[in-house]
Every structure is written in C-alpha cells, then in structure tokens.
Structure 1
Amino acid sequence: MAAGAMNRWTASLADARPVSFWLDDPGRPPVLPALTGTEQCDLLVIGGGYSGLWTALLAKEREPDRDVVLIEGREVGWAASGRNGGFCAASLTHGLDNGLSRWPHEIGTLEKLGARNLDEIEAAVARYGIDCEFERTGEIDVATEPYQAEELRTWHQDVRRQGLGDGIEFLDEEAVRAQVDSPLLRAGVWDRDGVAMLHPAKLVWGLKAACLSLGVRIHERTPALSLVRRGAGMGVRTPYGRILARQVALGTNVFPSLVKRVRPYVVPVYDYALMTEPLTPEQRASIGWQGRQGLGDTANQFHYFRLTADDRILWGGYDAIYPYGGRVRAEYDERPETYARLARHFFGYFPQLEGVRFSHAWGGAIDTCSRFSAFFGTAHEGRVAYAAGYTGLGVGATRFGADVMLDLLAGERTERTELEMVRKKPLPFPPEPFAWTGIALTKWSLAHADRNEGHRNLWLRTLDRLGLGFDS
C-alpha cells in the first residue's frame, strides 16, 4: 500500500467531527426535566430509544386513558436510535435467510407481519407529521465478487420457487451499475418495497413529540437504578425519586437489563460509520444512484451505505468490535483505525469521488443476540415485559417488539404472541473468557471465508449446526 494513497484517505478524515451526524443538529428538541419526587402510573416505559418510544405511543393509542410515563437515562435517542444508518426494514428476522433457517414453518407469517409493521410505521409518520425524511426506496444487496454474484442469483431463484421474496428483483452487473455506478459491483438483489430510508434522529424526536401530544409524561436524564416488586405493582428507583407502576416495559436493549436473567442473552458489538460532506452536482452525477436506495454488500464483513436528503453518503459497517467483558463504555464510541479503514474502502468503491471529505465519524453499541433478531419475555409474574437483541435491524422491528411487549403485559394471545420466534429464546452467550474467545474466533473465520470465496471453515459449520448461524 502506497504511503501517498494512505495519506489521501486519512486526509479525508481531517475535519470529521466525532459525533453522530444525525444528532449534530441545531433543531434537536430541548431536554425534558428529570424526575424528582414520587410518581405513579399505569405503565412505566424504561428507555427513550425507538423501543421505548414506540411502546409508549402504542400504549396510548390502544388505551388513551392509560397513564404512561417514560424515563430515559440521558437524552431521548442519544444511543443506537440516533446513531444508526437509517435503514428501516420490514424484516423482523434480520433478513429472509436468517428467518428461513430458524423459523421455516412460520416465515410466511413473519414476512406478512413485517410488511404490515413497515406500512404502519409509514402511516404513523404521516399521521403525526413526523418530518424524518422517510423515503420508501428499497435496498439493494450487492455482490462485489463473482462468487457472490452467483450466490445472489441462486438465492433469488430459490426464494422465488418457495413463493417468497415478492418485490425482490435480481440485477446483473449491467443492471446494478445502472442503479449505482461503482466499479466493484457485480450483481445485486433489489428489495423494492421492504426497506425505507429515513433520518433516524428526526424519527426519534418525532416519536417523542407524538408521545407528548397523547399525554405521555417523559423524564430525561433519569436512569432507572433498580426494579423491585411493590405490592400489586413494581417500584423503580431513580437518582432523585421513585416511580410506582402497575406494569413496566423495558426498552433498554444493549444496556444491562434490570431483569438480571436476561443479561447473558445480549452482548454489545460496536459499529462505526462515516458521513461525507454534501456531494456537488458533478460528483452526484458521477455515481448515478438516482433511485436513492440503501445498499449493503454481501460479504461477511459488510458495508452499508446510503444517501441523505442533502446528498451526503453515509458509509458504515465492516468492523464489528466486541469489547472484552461486554462492557458499554463511551470510549468505545470512537475508533480511528476503523475510520481509516472505512475511508480506504469508500474510495475503492467510488474512485470517482477522490477528494471528497468526511464531515462526521462516529460509533455506537448494537444489542446482539445469538440468533440476530429480537427476543421477548416477561418477569415478575407478568408485570414486566422486555424486548432486546435486535442486532442492528431495530429501526423498524422495534415497533413490532413494542406491540409484543404490550400484548404480553395484557396477557393476550395474539398472532404475535403465538409465534415460535416470540415464545422461545436464543442461546445465551457463555461467560468470559469463553464469550470473547468464541466471538474472536468467529470474526477471524468470517474474514477468512471472505478471502476464500465464501467457504466456511469447521468452526462456522459447527455454529451453523448449533443454530447460531453467524453469517453476517
């Protein structure tokens, strides 16, 4: 690697602000006061990301007279909900492949429920006037190697034979480069209707406003310190007060659950992203991309990328960093070596954008479980419900998870609660040092597979047989 080339790539990062582009917005709403004293409510929602906000909103839509309080340890949307790529997918199962491998007998229902959930998100955005730059452009999974192109073609044929994948179109090299002009692209599959692009922080802030409009009481800078039984309900202690609630919904995801038995099921994996400065009209024309779809490549160590409303490119993924012990710490939010690697890969994809600079570089923790899609449950004799483990695909699926939590708290048997996906848990992660060793070996094996035309070694094949399915 030439030193001059490396200097060009790193020079593109010289002015990058180490904060999420989405959250770096002068229009962000003011922080609401912390809880002080004692409050009572019918439903307490803990966590002010998508999971918690959807739960509070749907609870009020179901029962307008229900007294709902939401508390957030810092600011609404400051964690994963304000740092992700803004891909809002219909899939509830982290993609069709993962769903087919785990729940083949109910995949049709899961796909139907996922499509309905995305439609309902779009309807809520319109109903509450949420200006979150929602664009239902779809997503193209792209191949950058000949073997990946053949795998995509075969996969597309297989799912169509099974009567799945409506609205998914195979694109050969000419067709995919007609959509996005990168010299690396060999093929793609375009899910035309199953993914929307949006501004993640503006969705959070819009949901916050919608909750307030329906009478939800929101307290920011109010971490929940403990969760205990109090008579017929639950008691939650906070730094300056306490809350007595008939029921509690936990939307804390990557952070240690207040239900301790849930903790072994979730580990944090740190993901990183760059945002370019706005492209000039000439730069924009050089890459095509008139359809404004989201894109993701099909390698095990993959990139995801998309356009913003003002024609920047978000470029993220590839490195997935698990910190020993599974700790969530602010110092992990920055990783200059990953930013340099991402910049180098970006200009490999888009050499015609030589000279473009990055305005923002940031990272954050994803709540990952061993089956890559959310799991659900209750505690304290049904007074507490939880959902976690979205593994990076929570922008859309958290709304479905909110409905599941409310169904569980109501004790209702619904189409959602009857799903095997909802009734059963993933395998927990082992304690340290076994978790770190296993994850490190898996990452090495996935990188090795990418270098060897996708061939999975004995370790990955063993995980496949155990149903762990580390394929993304």
Structure 2
Amino acid sequence: MAPAAMTRALAASLADAEPVSFWLEDPGKPAALPALTGDTSCDLLVVGGGYSGLWTALLAKERDPGRDVVLIEGNEIGWAASGRNGGFCAASLTHGLANGLERWPGEIKKLEELGARNLDAIEAAVARYGIDCEFERTGEIDVATQPYQVDELREWHQEVTELGLGGGEFLDQDALRSEVDSPTFLGGLYDRDGVAMLHPAKLAWGLKQACLGLGVRIHERTRGLDLARSGTGMAVRTPYGRVFARHVALGTNIFPSLVKRVRPYTVPVYDYALMTEPLTEEQQAAIGWRNRQGLGDSANQFHYFRLTADHRILWGGYDAIYPYGGRMSADLDHRPDTYLRLAEHFVQCFPQLEGIRFSHAWGGAIDTCSRFSAFFGTAHGGRVAYAAGFTGLGVGATRFGGDVMLDLLSGERTERTALEMVRTKPMPFPPEPFAWAGIGLTKWSLARADERDGRRNLWLKSMDKLGLGFDS
C-alpha cells in the first residue's frame, strides 16, 4: 500500500475513536461523593483518590478499625492515571527486576519477596471485598522483535536464574508464536505468576467502596490547597473548609506535592493508548492469545498490550512526551500524531487484523523520577508521609507504598522502612532549561539505541554511571 493510502487507512481506523479512557466509560462508574464543606478533624487525612490514596486509607482501617480516616480527592476517584493505565498489576516494586538489581543488589531478594507478597495481598483483597475488577493472574511476556533483543533476553534469563531470582521461562520464536501469533515476534521471556491483568477503573471504584464499607469518610471534588502545622497535628485547607489531622498521607503523585521540597523529584510524562473494537471469533483465532497474558516489547521505546474481558486489544506506549517546565495541560491528553503512529505499529505487529477499527484513544500524565521507581519520605516532624515516582508501574506498587507511608507515620522500624530503597531518594531533576534539554537528549539517544541494535551512546552511558534510570 502506498504511504498516502496507508495514512488514510490508519486515519480511517481512528475516525470513530472516543477521546476518553475506555475504562472510565464503563456504565458501572459510581456517582461522585459530595465535596467537603466546613471544617472537620480526623486521625489520618489521605490526600489523593487514586490507587496510592485508596490503598493507604484501606490499609489504615485494616490496621486499626477505630482510626478515623478522611480521604479527599480534587476531582473524582480514579479519574487520572489510576483510571487510564493499561491494567498491568505487577509484583515488581522496582519497575522491573533489572532496575532493582542495578540499584539495590544487596536487597533485591527481599524486594522481590515483598513484591510477591504484595501482589498476593492485592489478589486476596480483591476477593475479600468482592471487587469486580476482572482480575486475571495471567502473567506477562517480554517480547523480542529484533535479533539482538533475543540474545539480550536469553542472557538476562541465564543471569537471573543463576542468581536465584526466578528468571521466568525463555520462549523461542515457535513457542512464543504458539502463545500469541505475530510475525514480528522472535522470542520472549514469560513471567507466568508475577503479573495480573485487571480493569484499572473498576479496581479504583472497588477500593472506594471497600473504604466506605470500613468507615473511611471520602470527599470528592475537594482539592487540598495547602498544608500547615496546627497544634500537635496538621491542617489542610480545601476550597470550602479545612481538615485537621494528627497525620497526613500524600498520594498525589504527579500533581504538585503539598510538601514543596518534594516537587523537583518528579516530572510528568504523557503516555498514550488505543483500544480496538471487540475482536470477532475469526480475528481471535488468527492471533491465538488464548492465555490472555500481558505483553510488552523489549525496545527502549516500547509498546504494552493486553486483552480486555470483552476481547478488545489495548495497545499503548512508544511515545513519552515531556512538556517544557513540567507544565500539565489537558491539551496534551490527546495527540493525533501519536495515535496514528500507534495504529501503524499495531498493524505491523498484527497484520492479520488489518482493517480493525479503534473505539477509544486517550492519553495523560504519569509521574516519573530519575530512578524509575517509587521513593518515600516524611515531613513536618514525621506528621506527614508521601510516596511518589511510580513511573507507570503503580497499579501494584502503590499498595506497598501505602504500607510504607503508614509505617513511616507510626515511627516504627519495619522490614519495609529498613530498606535502602525506602531510606534513599533519587536524584532531583535540574531546573529548566536543563531538564528539558536533558530529557530531550535522553529520548533521542534511546531512539538511536533502538536503531543501533541496543548500543548505548556516550550520553546514555554517562546517565548509567550517574544512576539515572533511563533504561526503558
């Protein structure tokens, strides 16, 4: 097909795509709860109604049912990253084993153990509270689409196996294509137990209901405007009142932290995804994918993709857009050029599905930090705790982050707070224009590495030596 004809065909496949997260359009979406009006007091105030805040509130009540917990959310529960991600719920707390092994080799086995326990606890909570979030413990396959990536996956599998870190199951081309059939697939590494697929918005809404059932007071459309000491506790001002609390847990992630010194540690990166229309039985048969694993390719500019309960394919990733100055804007939530690029890559991966149409196309900001995995801390004499920097792998790790924040607020040393990962912070991002230039040069270098069989240039090698996490 001629390039112009191809572009027209790709554009046509997007013609009816709704510019909203597929997950958030679910008819089961609950109504928003009323905003806080007037002043109130509590033992623990949780700021943020995404996964981080919801897990923290739920765990706080599980630890102490008598604790008075209030949660405030500036918009609606799950409306941001928690309601528009890919629904990959991974055991890893470190944005993948490779990142964790590079940064914390001395405690990686403990981190992997804690991550596995955390994922098991999420599965148990979903069952205990009857959260209908389409939870499937299907695992994930890391896919090689270039010969050098096959070699890298094979070497990595051997290394982690020898270290006693599991390593998954290496799949050659035939074995991989018997699982999911794409002519671009050359090999893969299959983690059968460490990742679950789920409906991300339904998880958030289910956690909301579980919190309410335990007595958490939730106020939506209630933004936390500032944070200040008040007697022996803290006070958070909202548009129509104040909340006085003994302790505060901040789960605001990409949104500006109420602890201002934390802000330089994160920047927003915009990520985009497409959702296909439901596949016919013939289309499903053409690609196989009977075991419904999540998939991601091994490039620096990578794609992630998975099946939904009604047999659609979510296809996301590749472009990661950093806005100058870290300024967030609704205008960046949609990027037609990226949608066309994603649609083109989809057809290259699954040519047997050529002609399929996309029902939804959306994007939004996630928070990232220079080590690519969450960091934690306290402020105001231990009265305030925060967790941020999950970098797109927060569906599972935010529950661990909630536990860490509660541990920190308790002032007790636990197996979590003893971790170097918890006790240390990443390098903050520099001010502009240096952040813009550095991130832009890094993105260009990563794209070049993909074109040069993974060979990293001098800039990336320098970033590696500094411990900056630009490896995916």
Distance 1:49 1:412 in 2: 26
Distance 2:26 2:129 in 1: 21
Q: How does 1:161-240 map to 2 (within 5 A)?
A: 161-165=162-166, 168-240=168-240
In structure 2, what is the equivalent of residue 285 of structure 1? Answer: 285
Tell me by how many angstroms 1:6 deviates: 1.4
Tell me by how many angstroms 1:469 deviates: 3.2
Distance 1:412 1:20 in 2: 40
SS at match of 1:268: strand
In structure 1, what is the equivalent of residue 363 of structure 2? Answer: 363
Amino acid at match of 1:39: T
In structure 2, what is the equivalent of residue 106 of structure 1? Answer: 107
Tell me by how many angstroms 1:329 deviates: 1.5
In structure 2, what is the equivalent of residue 465 of structure 1? Answer: 465
Distance 2:3 2:330 in 1: 33
In structure 2, what is the equivalent of residue 148 of structure 1? Answer: 149
SS at match of 1:174: helix
Amino acid at match of 2:108: I
| Alpha-carbon displacement from aligned partner over 1:426-462 (angstroms, at most 9, x marks no partner) | 0000000000000000000000000000000000000
Tell me by how many angstroms 1:103 deviates: 0.1
Amino acid at match of 1:158: E
Distance 2:469 2:28 in 1: 41
SS at match of 1:279: coil
Q: How many residues align?
A: 471
SS at match of 2:15: coil
1:9 corresponds to 2:10: yes
What is the root-mean-square deviation in Å for CA atoms of aligned residues?
0.6
Distance 2:30 2:390 in 1: 26
Distance 2:68 2:336 in 1: 45
Distance 2:310 2:26 in 1: 14
Distance 2:49 2:162 in 1: 42
Amino acid at match of 1:16: A
In structure 1, what is the equivalent of residue 444 of structure 2? Answer: 444
SS at match of 2:25: coil
Distance 1:428 1:72 in 2: 26
SS at match of 2:221: coil
In structure 1, what is the equivalent of residue 431 of structure 2? Answer: 431
1:372 corresponds to 2:402: no
In structure 2, what is the equivalent of residue 306 of structure 1? Answer: 306
SS at match of 1:274: strand
In structure 2, what is the equivalent of residue 417 of structure 1? Answer: 417
With normalisation by structure 1, the TM-score equals: 0.99
In structure 2, what is the equivalent of residue 87 of structure 1? Answer: 88
SS at match of 1:202: helix
| Alpha-carbon displacement from aligned partner over 1:76-117 (angstroms, at most 9, x marks no partner) | 000000000000000000000000000000000000000000
Tell me by how many angstroms 1:353 deviates: 0.3
Unaligned runs of 5+ in 2: none
SS at match of 1:159: helix
Runs (4 or more) in structure 1 with deviation over 6 Å come to none
| Alpha-carbon displacement from aligned partner over 1:322-366 (angstroms, at most 9, x marks no partner) | 000001221111111000000000000000001110000000111
Tell me by how many angstroms 1:49 deviates: 0.1
In structure 2, what is the equivalent of residue 393 of structure 1? Answer: 393
Distance 2:400 2:253 in 1: 14
Distance 2:6 2:249 in 1: 51
| Alpha-carbon displacement from aligned partner over 1:259-289 (angstroms, at most 9, x marks no partner) | 0000000000000000000000000110000
Tell me by how many angstroms 1:9 deviates: 1.1
SS at match of 2:39: strand
Tell me by how many angstroms 1:7 deviates: 1.1
SS at match of 2:93: coil
Tell me by how many angstroms 1:412 deviates: 1.0
With normalisation by structure 2, the TM-score equals: 0.99
Distance 1:88 1:344 in 2: 27
Tell me by how many angstroms 1:186 deviates: 0.3
Amino acid at match of 2:379: A
Distance 2:419 2:378 in 1: 15
Unaligned runs of 5+ in 1: none
Tell me by how many angstroms 1:220 deviates: 0.2
SS at match of 1:455: coil
Amino acid at match of 1:126: A
Distance 2:357 2:147 in 1: 31
| Alpha-carbon displacement from aligned partner over 1:32-91 (angstroms, at most 9, x marks no partner) | 000000100000000000000000000000000000000000000000000000000000
Distance 1:226 1:465 in 2: 38
Amino acid at match of 1:260: K
Distance 1:304 1:419 in 2: 30
Amino acid at match of 2:129: Y
In structure 1, what is the equivalent of residue 350 of structure 2? Answer: 350
Distance 1:436 1:291 in 2: 42
Distance 1:27 1:72 in 2: 20
| Alpha-carbon displacement from aligned partner over 1:185-212 (angstroms, at most 9, x marks no partner) | 0000000000000000000000000000
Tell me by how many angstroms 1:118 deviates: 0.0
SS at match of 2:149: helix
In structure 1, what is the equivalent of residue 128 of structure 2? Answer: 127
SS at match of 1:23: helix
Amino acid at match of 1:135: E
In structure 2, what is the equivalent of residue 61 of structure 1? Answer: 62
Bigger shift: residues 335-344 or 323-332 = 323-332
SS at match of 1:413: coil
Tell me by how many angstroms 1:176 deviates: 0.5
